[in-house]
Amino acid sequence: MATLTGPASPIVGGVQINFPGYLCTLGFNARDGNQDSFITNSHCTTKQGGVESTPYYQPLQSSHPTVIGVEVEDPQYSKSLPGCPRSKLCRYSDAARVRYNSGINFDLGKIATPTGPASLTYNGSWSIYDKGPVTQGQTVSKVGRTTGLSTGTVTNTDVLTGVQGTRFAQIGQFFVSAAVGSGDSGSPVIRESGGNVYLVGILWGGSGSTTFVGSPIANIEAELGTLTVK
């Protein structure tokens, strides 16, 4: 047994990560070319949009001071994207790529499998079968360091979504009627079908505690490039 908020070996999607001053959730491990990496939110970096070489720890710098990786890819927000309101700066995803440092033990294609709804304890991992689209009416789940496993229905897709308190907006996002809490940012969002697990995106925010918003995997790859996820 392990916990989503504790040390993970190997590191898998859904576990806690720490960057200076804040906690988030690791979305999924990925390979970009020959770079071993993981994906989390752009707002889970020192500055949302743009690369500042943010360092990451797992689960906490105070207890585990080894830097597991450094931010290497995080596109700037732009006024010029089609569909971006005049008063906003936009992107298609709230996603950043972190390159693992040499010697870090991680498992490509694995997402922590909590022992039940809202549980922070996990025993084993789901294996990503493939990437998949997210469509209205689907049942999807997220795994996050705060509220664990939560499952709900995709209520809206292709939504222009503003980020409260900022000029930022995300184009083409999806909404899910499922639990979310502070620190769940970056959580992998998956769908099970025919016994297989499909990676459909990552969570980046919520409306209250019962609806979360995420960026589809297609939008993430439109900004970060094609990612090997298994």
Per-residue confidence of the chain (230 residues) as pLDDT tens digits? 899 999 999 999 999 999 999 999 999 999 999 999 999 999 999 999 999 999 999 999 999 999 999 999 999 999 999 999 999 999 999 999 999 999 999 999 999 999 999 999 999 999 999 999 999 999 999 999 999 999 999 999 999 999 999 999 999 999 999 999 999 999 999 999 999 999 999 999 998 899 999 999 999 999 999 999 99
User: Does residue 92 form part of some domain?
Assistant: yes
Residue 131's pLDDT is 98
Residue 209's pLDDT is 92
Residue 208's pLDDT is 84
Q: How far apart are CA 96 and CA 223, in angstroms?
A: 9
User: Does residue 108 form part of some domain?
Assistant: yes
Residue 182's pLDDT is 96
User: Does residue 230 form part of some domain?
Assistant: no
pTM: predicted TM-score of the whole model, two decimal places: 0.97
Residue 149's pLDDT is 98
Q: For residue 97, how many other CB atoms are within 10 A of its CB?
A: 23
Q: Which domain holds residue 49?
A: 2-224
Residues β-bridged to residue 225:
none
* Residue 137 contacts residue 157 (beta carbons within 8 Å): no
**Sign of torsion, CA 197 18 51 159?**
positive
DSSP state at residue 178: S
End-to-end CA distance of the chain: give it in Å, rounded. 23
Q: According to the 3-state scheme, what is the secondary structure of the chain?
A: CEECCCCCCCEEECCEEEECCEEEECCEEEEECCEEEEEECHHHCCCCCCCCCCEEECCCCCCCCCCCEEEEECCCCECCCCCCCCCCEEECCCCEEEEECCCCCEEEEEEEEECCECCCEEEEEEEEEEECCCCCCCEEEEEECCCEEEEEEEEEEEEEEECCCCCEEEEEEEEECCCCCCCCCCCEEEEEECCEEEEEEEEEEEECCCEEEEEEHHHHHHHHCCCECC
User: Does residue 229 form part of some domain?
Assistant: no
Residue 207's pLDDT is 85
Which run of H or of E encompasses 11? Answer: strand 11-13
User: Does residue 99 form part of some domain?
Assistant: yes
What CATH number has the domain bearing residue 30?
Answer: 2.40.10.10
Q: How many domains, in total, are found in the chain?
A: 1
